[in-house]
Amino acid sequence: QQPVQSPQAVILREGEDAVINCSSSKALYSVHWYRQKHGEAPVFLMILLKGGEQKGHEKISASFNEKKQQSSLYLTASQLSYSGTYFCGTEAETDDKIIFGKGTRLHILP
Amino acid sequence: DAGITQSPRHKVTETGTPVTLRCHQTENHRYMYWYRQDPGHGLRLIHYSYGVKDTDKGEVSDGYSVSRSKTEDFLLTLESATSSQTSVYFCAISEGRGLARGGELFFGEGSRLTVL
């Protein structure tokens, strides 16, 4: 079952902050975040593991609430280069498939 | 950049014809995945592999089969293509660790398939 992302779309001005949320109905082992620009492949941003381990880009921050099976991606002081579609991917405790949400489109205005 | 290539990058075919997409990696990663991407649906998992000859179904596996006879190659086959299989197909690889969990995905550039 696909994780649910919110909001579906966001429009910001450069320098503003944004939060993208991801929730799952399954008990999760990990949450992944990726960004995709138009016409390109998705690119890894961050992975958060059950138990608190994280790996990702220094300028990206995210949280993982293991009790609620929810994750949030925090984009602070947004830049024009942050525009794109953001996907969360979830890996359940009971299997090793990585299932993605439908994405959140982020548009940054100058 | 992770060494992952997809072929063909673009293909136009007719309904009822067989189609095979190839994903090739040079990273020796254990996990390989096939996703399809359609507007409004995000990335949907078709099949994945956790080792040579070890594959499992994803969310939208009907009408697709896969094979992995070597670590580096993961083939996706549409036995009889339909218009509903028009999509962009992405292959991804993951190193994994331990029981092969928790590794980030590296995506190929995608293969655009049009079924007329």
Report DSSP letters for A41-79, one per residue: --EEEEEEETTS-EEE-TT-EEEEETTTTEEEEEE-S--
Give B88's contacts (C-beta < 8 A, 6+ positions apart): B36, B37, B38, B110, B111, B112, B113
Q: Do A102 and B107 touch (CB under 8 A)?
A: no
> Hey, is the C-beta of B40 within 8 angstroms of any chain A C-beta?
yes
Residue for token digits 């008990």?
A27
pLDDT tier for residue B99 given thresholds of 50, 70 and 90: very low
CA distance A80 to A65: 29
- The DSSP bridge pattern shows strands A43-49 and A54-56 to be antiparallel
Determine the distance in angstroms separating the CA of A53 from the nearest CA of chain B, rounded to an integer.
10
> Hey, is the C-beta of A38 within 8 angstroms of any chain B C-beta?
no
pLDDT tier for residue B100 given thresholds of 50, 70 and 90: very low
Q: Is the pLDDT of residue B1 over 70?
A: no
How are strands ordered across the β-sheet holding A18-23? A4-6, A18-23, A70-75, A61-65
pLDDT tier for residue B102 given thresholds of 50, 70 and 90: low
The region of weakest confidence among A7-16, A88-97, B98-107 is B98-107
- The DSSP bridge pattern shows strands B4-7 and B87-94 to be unpaired
Give A67's contacts (C-beta < 8 A, 6+ positions apart): none
* Minimum-distance CB partner of A29 among B33, B40, B102: B102
Determine the distance in angstroms separating the CA of B45 from the nearest CA of chain A, rounded to an integer.
6
**Interface A:B, Cβ pairs < 8 A:** 64
Determine the distance in angstroms separating the CA of A70 from the nearest CA of chain B, rounded to an integer.
17
Show residues of chain B in contact with A29, CB under 8 Å: 101-102
Neighbours of A8 (CB within 10 A): 10
> Hey, is the C-beta of A47 within 8 angstroms of any chain B C-beta?
yes
Render pLDDT for A11-63 as a digit per residue (tens, 0 to 9): 999 999 999 999 999 999 999 999 999 999 999 999 998 888 888 877 789 99
**Model pLDDT, residue B98:** 47
Determine the distance in angstroms separating the CA of A48 from the nearest CA of chain B, rounded to an integer.
8
- The DSSP bridge pattern shows strands A28-36 and B10-13 to be unpaired
Residue of A nearest to B90 (CA): A41
Show residues of chain B in contact with A30, CB under 8 Å: 101-102
Q: Is the pLDDT of residue A66 over 70?
A: yes
> Hey, is the C-beta of B35 within 8 angstroms of any chain A C-beta?
yes
Mean pLDDT in chain B?
A: 93
> What percent of chain A has pLDDT above 90?
80
